[in-house]
Structure 1
Amino acid sequence: MVGPQPYYITTPIYYVNDAPHIGHAYTTLACDVLARFMRLDGRRVKFLTGTDEHGQKVEKSAQAAGMDPQAFTDKVSLNFRDLAKTLNFSNDDFIRTTEERHVRACQALWTRLKEAGEIYLGSYAGWYAVRDEAFYDESELRDGPGGKKIAPSGAEVEWVEEPSYFFRLSAWQERLLAFYEQNPGFIGPASRRNEVISFVRSGLRDLSVSRTTFRWGIPVPNDPDHIMYVWLDALTNYITAVGYPDTENKDYSTFWPADLHMVGKDILRFHAIFWPAFLMAAGLQPPKRVFAHGWWTNEGQKISKSVGNVIDPVVLADEYGLDQIRYFLLREVPFGNDGDFSRTAAINRINSDLANDFGNLAQRVLSMIHKNCEAAVPRPNALKAADEALLTAARELFDRLRADFGEQAFHRGLEAAWQVVGDANRYVDEQAPWTLRKTDPARMNTVLYTLAETIRHLAILTQPVMPESCARLLDQLAVAPEGRTFASLGPDGALAPGTALPKPEPIFPRYIKPEDDDSQKTGR
């Protein structure tokens, strides 16, 4: 008997030289929504996140804080673990690159690459950006203030000369191009795929994969004067978490290759070029897909600590509501594009899409059922064309969401869901159940049942995005926990007439600015 189809999704592991911000939350949120969606779709999910704790940047940050690097990473890593709990992320594992299991995996991968002749000892002289943990070619740099050289990312680079091991990346140029051609869905979105292919076609140089000028990292096997380049260390986390180097264990054989690595666009090159080359050179399978999303600005301004406009996701959730912010971040901007966080836009989504459209639909339908149907699921009679049309739209929504979410097009899936919300609101106005209560109570029952079934579908399908709110809504429909998966969609899982329903409570309150709230309290 074949078990549930596995699904392995990862966030990038987050660098511990800074506090969590909206960018971290956005990436993990997208992964959380996909993980929840796949679980509801009956798949066996492994959802991984964690922290990247080695490298020169961390060593410098620890020194600046007057702390030992391990104590520093222990403290900051906890902030990311706490963020996952606070924002209701459902990750199955949290990996730290300072863990023994990860050291073991990295050294095993290194040994395999060395034995395959893919790593050799030489010396490195070139430009290195500590902030990016990346090497740059002279042609990529521009002149900055004070005669400094600046990388394309805006980071300062420094000239580094030291002994180094190299990975034979140049030998993988044609094989990578062939891999991209054979796997057109490997990189998303399409614009990012084109960027990567163009970069690889322009020529690849062998990659320095060890450092000797600092100590905070994983020692190179049999040569402890060298530590591993932080990106070789960091990328390996994805196979560490499934038990590598034991490729015969159940987790590795079940979940590798990963279905999706979700990353920010700034680290796509490492994931779409270096990582598949490392894996294929070691005789391992590359992941199935890497998706690079865009960056957020704040009210039109680039986010930076120096400007003081960093967005704290916990503060956002406290102010606007956790599910409301989850919805806004995935609905407002086509996923993969850059987006601008605007308080006005967030409030509009919360008050229009959630409070007015979905929330008001659920509240008025459930209130009418509570008042006019003895607080129980009404018993429908023969359905008319309008009823069938609405139910068909609700039932067809699953296939649309499965396709859109499978392509990481969250905004498209949510647009489709809100088309059904709009259909249901128009249906309420056209059918006018408050009038039918007096003229045709049997028809009123059918209309309210059709609406309750539509709301059931919407609540089940939007659970991955707004898990707490949808759980409360499904509670109000008396849907049992086992009836909340996608297998319960359609007629087979339909609401049973006569089922007692609790008194309805609003799910999505309107957002009222604090000053507006104060003026109302004081009567001004």
Structure 2
Amino acid sequence: MRQDSVSLESGNVVEWTSETNYMFRLSAFRDKLLRWLDLNPTAVQPAKFHAIVRHWLEEGLQDLSVSRQRDRLGWGVQVPDDPSQSIYVWLDALVNYLTVSGYPERTHLWPPTHIVGKDILKFHAIYWPAFLMAADIPLPASIICHSHWTRDSFKMSKSKGNVIDPFDRAAHFTADGLRYFLLREGVLHSDGDYSDMKVSALLNAELADTYGNLLSRVAAPTLNPQQVFPVLDSNLFPSMSAQSSTSRTTDEDYLLVESVKRLPDIVAGHYDQFLFYRGLEEIMTCLRMANAFVQRHEPWNLTKNPIDRPWLDSIIHVTMETLRVCGILTQPIVPDLTDRLLTKMGVGTTERSWDHLKCFEALEGDGREGYGGRRLSSNSSVLFTRLKTVSRR
């Protein structure tokens, strides 16, 4: 007695049927696909999925059915000159990539970069390149494959009813908050598990306590009564090479400055590889260092004596310069939050591109003050309001 097979994806019993279809000779493209992968290490990213596709190819390919009987699939596109057959959806649907690029008259969007879920990787990394090879059309520049979000360790699906309504959650956490969580916790190579408690904990720790708290500290009227992006005194905070034994600066202070200077190139590398979580971790590391910098120098104890004002201003300047750089770098992730941050610090909308990431010019001691002297806006300095713990998961 034959034992029933069960789908790993849905858990349903597999039903076996047979019918007459048109076939695509997929097996003939195995070696060409292997060469494509081997000559293009970034053809499929990340490396984990590149290896999976290569393993599928090494196991061998069977020819692929590219049509279905029309008497059971009447809604599909009819096979030309054969009214009894409908075109298989994964042949019909993939060709839409060419259609939207303007093919065949123009292909200004080709070759593309595809971003796909891991459950449709085979269709995009084996079937589709083989179809294109057969038609003598250039292959995609890259296929970026991502894993899934789960809930209680199960894949979300409409059939199971365990989905999360993104509009409802964005209304609760804000659009920026939900974007931040998904890009901070979502990684390409493995599934992420969602819960409202995780979202609240992360946003409170990073957007409210780390990011928002830093701005609130240096924009507070008690520390910054003139409400300015203050000027740094290069005598009190000299370049590291000019540091003297009488300087108030510490090695940790210069480590912060150097980390922020290096940050744009590091973050750009991670963003270019779609590793947003790594870029955000680097940004958060600098923001935590800046919070430690403020805590170390205790600027609230410098407000009473006017002689300490230049040193206090220098502390605020370094902190705000860190916030400015981090704000520009997090614009793609939390655009509303960073708009409020940069506006608060007097950074204009035309000064927020990658070309404006040169920082700590005042430390060079050549009279350049960078953004020092800018007036702060009257907007609130609260970037992200702490969230109450929610019971829904």
TM class, shorter-length: 0.7 to 0.9
Q: What residue number does 1:207 align with?
A: 64
Q: What residue number does 2:192 align with?
A: 339
Which residue of 30, 38, 54 corresponds with 1:173? Answer: 30
Which residue of 237, 248, 261 corresponds with 1:395? Answer: 261
**Once structures 1 and 2 are overlaid, which stretch shifts more, 263-272 or 156-165?**
156-165
Q: What residue number does 1:189 align with?
A: 46
Which residue of 226, 230, 239 corresponds with 1:374? Answer: 226
Equivalent residue runs for 1:1-400 within 5 Å: 143-144=3-4, 149-154=5-10, 156-213=13-70, 214-246=73-105, 249=106, 252-253=107-108, 255-258=109-112, 260-305=113-158, 307-368=160-221, 372-382=224-234, 383-384=237-238, 385=240, 388-400=254-266
Whether the aligned pair in 2 keeps the contact of 1:378 and 1:448 (CA below 8 Å) is yes
For 1:412 and 1:319, how far apart are their aligned partners in 2? Answer: 26
Which residue of 370, 380, 385 corresponds with 1:509? Answer: 385
Q: What residue number does 1:457 align with?
A: 325
For 1:204 and 1:391, how far apart are their aligned partners in 2? Answer: 55
Measure how far apart 1:229 and its partner are: 1.1
Whether the aligned pair in 2 keeps the contact of 1:298 and 1:341 (CA below 8 Å) is yes
Measure how far apart 1:283 and its partner are: 1.0
**1:169–1:301: structure 2 CA closer, same or farther, 3 Å change rule?**
closer
**1:364–1:338: structure 2 CA closer, same or farther, 3 Å change rule?**
same
Measure how far apart 1:245 and its partner are: 1.7
**1:514–1:494: structure 2 CA closer, same or farther, 3 Å change rule?**
farther
Identity %: 38
**1:268–1:461: structure 2 CA closer, same or farther, 3 Å change rule?**
same
Whether the aligned pair in 2 keeps the contact of 1:333 and 1:339 (CA below 8 Å) is yes
Q: Which amino acid aligns with 1:331?
A: R
**Once structures 1 and 2 are overlaid, which stretch shifts more, 481-490 or 329-338?**
329-338
For 2:74 and 2:28, how far apart are their aligned partners in 1? Answer: 29
Measure how far apart 1:307 and its partner are: 4.8
For 1:498 and 1:181, how far apart are their aligned partners in 2? Answer: 55
**1:212–1:418: structure 2 CA closer, same or farther, 3 Å change rule?**
same
For 2:152 and 2:130, how far apart are their aligned partners in 1? Answer: 39
**Once structures 1 and 2 are overlaid, which stretch shifts more, 170-179 or 181-190?**
181-190
- Per the alignment, in what secondary structure is the counterpart of residue 218 of structure 2? helix
Measure how far apart 1:293 and its partner are: 1.5
Measure how far apart 1:306 and its partner are: 5.5
TM-score, normalized by length of structure 1?
A: 0.65
For 2:201 and 2:279, how far apart are their aligned partners in 1? Answer: 19
Larger strand fraction of residues: 1
Measure how far apart 1:456 and its partner are: 0.6
Flag structure 2 segments of 5+ consecutive residues without an equivalent.
241-248, 362-367
Which residue of 352, 355, 379 corresponds with 1:487? Answer: 355
Q: What residue number does 1:82 align with?
A: none
1:422 maps to 2:288: yes
Q: Which amino acid aligns with 2:28?
A: A
Measure how far apart 1:371 and its partner are: 5.4
For 1:307 and 1:228, how far apart are their aligned partners in 2? Answer: 29
Measure how far apart 1:220 and its partner are: 2.9
Measure how far apart 1:380 and its partner are: 1.5
Q: Which amino acid aligns with 1:405?
A: Y
Flag structure 1 segments of 5+ consecutive residues without an equivalent.
1-141, 516-524
Measure how far apart 1:297 and its partner are: 1.9
**1:165–1:300: structure 2 CA closer, same or farther, 3 Å change rule?**
closer
**1:451–1:465: structure 2 CA closer, same or farther, 3 Å change rule?**
same
Whether the aligned pair in 2 keeps the contact of 1:391 and 1:453 (CA below 8 Å) is no
For 1:362 and 1:230, how far apart are their aligned partners in 2? Answer: 52
Measure how far apart 1:212 and its partner are: 2.6
Q: Which amino acid aligns with 2:348?
A: A
For 1:399 and 1:268, how far apart are their aligned partners in 2? Answer: 31
Instruction: Supply the RMSD in Å over aligned alpha carbons.
Output: 2.4
Q: What residue number does 2:365 align with?
A: none
Q: Deviations over 1:306-354 (max 9, x none)?
A: 6532211111111222211111122224332111112222111011111
Measure how far apart 1:215 and its partner are: 2.2
Q: Deviations over 1:69-127 (max 9, x none)?
A: xxxxxxxxxxxxxxxxxxxxxxxxxxxxxxxxxxxxxxxxxxxxxxxxxxxxxxxxxxx
For 1:300 and 1:168, how far apart are their aligned partners in 2? Answer: 38
Whether the aligned pair in 1 keeps the contact of 2:148 and 2:155 (CA below 8 Å) is no
Q: Which amino acid aligns with 1:233?
A: D
For 1:221 and 1:494, how far apart are their aligned partners in 2? Answer: 70
Whether the aligned pair in 1 keeps the contact of 2:215 and 2:381 (CA below 8 Å) is no
For 2:110 and 2:157, how far apart are their aligned partners in 1? Answer: 36
Measure how far apart 1:305 and its partner are: 4.4
Q: Which amino acid aligns with 2:297?
A: Q
Whether the aligned pair in 1 keeps the contact of 2:6 and 2:13 (CA below 8 Å) is yes
For 1:490 and 1:240, how far apart are their aligned partners in 2? Answer: 42
Measure how far apart 1:423 and its partner are: 0.8
Whether the aligned pair in 1 keeps the contact of 2:218 and 2:224 (CA below 8 Å) is no
Q: What residue number does 2:373 align with?
A: 498
For 1:337 and 1:239, how far apart are their aligned partners in 2? Answer: 30
